[in-house]
Amino acid sequence: MELNTVKYENGELYILDTTKLPSSLEYVKMNNVEDCFNAIRALKVRGAPAIGVAAAYALVLSSKVARKTSFQEFYEDFRKDKEYLAKSRPTAVNLFWALDRIDAKVIENKDRSISEICKLIEREADLIKQEDIMMCRKIGEHGLTLLKDGMGILTHCNAGVLATSKYGTAVAPIYLAKERGMNIKVFADETRPLLQGARLTAYELYHSGVDVTLICDNMAATVMKNKWVQAVFVGCDRVAANGDTANKIGTYNLAVLAKYHNIPFYVLGPTSTIDMNIPDGSAIPIEERDKKEIIFGFGCQTAPEDVNVYNPAFDVTPNELITGIVTEKGIIKPPFKENLKKLFNE
Ligand code: MRU
């Protein structure tokens, strides 16, 4: 099954609306920057790498309607849209990384004609998408070295094809293992409140013929105690310079459980998700979402409408609970502060 989270074809931008899964597979056309902002905010396109790719193409749409009489006017319009898009979601650093990368390309080429700059913006967005595919493949290859035939892996949220341009991050090694005829048994947390594990991870793994078992989030301890999983693989939205990692709410719980059960806990993500400007997890902005996501969780009311709700979309796993960070450049081991610094200085 070919799933393409962000599709740019013949000058038109489409995103796969993941909020409609698993019941229907629908691509929606993005007509302007506002459509892209709303799609990111509403989680139609979600997952750190896919958000970055969508934001890059949103700037392609922006460049098409920006004023073109002078570079200054063009850049003013471009910056306005860039700043607007940066407000769509706060946690996944790939959003800001992609926006800044396109911005840098524009500035670097400010002496060229505006039509040339527009082509360069489009080319940079294409590159971001192609590189995402390559990085995910490499993450898969490095992650594969941690797998043995017959192993059980627990994963949380969706860090698969539906969160990236291909393969995924946490799920990439599992696809590569499948390609090589290995049998890996995946346990997927359903991931309350928005059920990305059930709606997306179980969906894409099931349709790819991977042996996947869906569990509710509160079953992970039992699965570990039963010795059904030998490692935990999760994605990431932002990794701080010391290795503290923000990922979907509930990831931290899993890391604590894994430590107790002596199970290795791996974070998998591209280096574009590592934010060396943030010294530790306490500085990572954590998105809080609408209480309705919890009160009307399953399409019907499941709690008193006016009850107080706390709904953070992410949590931060302290680096001491992480066994390794699998990137496209290899597996980073503790001490993360030193080893991440080395990686970025290379
Ligand atoms: O709120 P979401 O669905 O965007 O959260 C996504 C996650 O937490 C993923 O695990 C993370 O972005 C990594 S995706 C490769």
Contacts of 329 (CB under 8 A, 6+ apart): 138, 271, 343
Question: Do 165 and 229 reside in the same domain of the chain?
Answer: yes
- Give the integer Cα–Cα distance in Å for 289 and 236: 18
What pLDDT, in 10s, does the model give residues 255-289?
A: 999 999 999 999 999 999 999 999 999 999 999 99
Measured from the CA of 164, which atom of ligand 1 is nearest?
A: 15
49 C-alpha to center of ligand 1: Å?
A: 8
How confident is the model over 182-202, as a mean pLDDT? 98
Let me know: does 161 contact 171? Beta carbons within 8 Å.
yes
Active site residue 244: no
Same domain, 145 and 128: no
* Same domain (yes/no): 54, 153: no
Residue 74, domain CATH? 1.20.120.420
- Residue that terminates a domain, selected from 136, 156, 180: 136
Binding-site residues, ligand 1, Cβ < 6 A? 43, 46-49, 92, 157, 159, 163-164, 168-169, 196, 235-237, 247-248, 313
- Top mutation candidate among 97, 237, 272 for ligand 1, by most atoms within 8 Å of CB: 237
**Tokens 């960070």 — which residue?**
325
Q: Nearest residue CA, atom 8 of ligand 1?
A: 248
Cα-to-centroid distance, 309 and ligand 1 (Å): 21
- Shared domain for 125 and 157, answered yes or no, is no
pLDDT score, position 238: 98
Q: Is the pTM of this model over 0.95?
A: yes
Beta carbons within 10 angstroms of residue 77's beta carbon: 16
Instruction: Tell me the CA–centroid distance for residue 115 and ligand 1, in Å.
Output: 35
Q: Which residues pair with 15 in a beta bridge?
A: 6, 28
* Number of domains within the chain: 2
Q: Calculate how far, in angstroms, residue 47's C-alpha sits from the geometric centre of ligand 1.
A: 4
Strand 274-275 relative to strand 238-240, pairing: parallel
Flag whether 222 is in a domain. yes
Give the Cα separation of 275 and 33 in Å (integer).
Answer: 25
> What value does the mean pLDDT take over residues 138-157?
98
Residue 320 shares a structural domain with residue 264: yes
Of 189, 331, 194, nearest in space to 271 by CA: 331
Domain limit, last residue, from 136, 151, 184? 136
pLDDT at 293 over 80: yes
| Ligand 1 atom at minimal distance to the Cα of residue 170 | 15
Element (H, E) at 186: strand 185-189
Average per-residue pLDDT for the chain: 97
Question: What's the whole-number mean pLDDT along residues 120-137?
Answer: 98
Is pLDDT at 36 greater than 90 in this prediction? yes
- How does strand 324-327 pair with strand 330-332? antiparallel
Q: What is the DSSP string of 214-244?
A: EE-GGGHHHHHHTT--SEEEE--SEEETTS-
For ligand 1, atom 10, the nearest C-alpha belongs to 235
How many whole angstroms separate alpha carbon 199 and alpha carbon 191? 9
Which domain-ending residue is among 114, 136, 158?
A: 136
What is the Å distance from ligand 1's center to 164 Cα? 9
**DSSP letters spanning 134-182:** HHHHHHHHHHHTT--TT-EEEE-S--SGGGSSSS-STTHHHHHHHHTT-
The stretch 194-213 carries a mean pLDDT of 98
Candidate from 93, 164, 196 with most ligand 1 atoms within 8 A of CB, to mutate: 196
Whether 270 is covered by a domain: the verdict is: yes
Domain that holds residue 124: 6-136
- Which residue among 17, 81, 237, 244 is the active-site one? 237
pLDDT at residue 126 in the model: 98
Q: Does residue 1 have a pLDDT over 80? A: no
Let me know if residue 1 belongs to a domain. no
Residues 122 and 44 in one domain: yes
Contact 212, 201 (CB under 8 A): yes
C-alpha distance from residue 134 to each of 168, 205, 243 (Å):
11, 20, 23
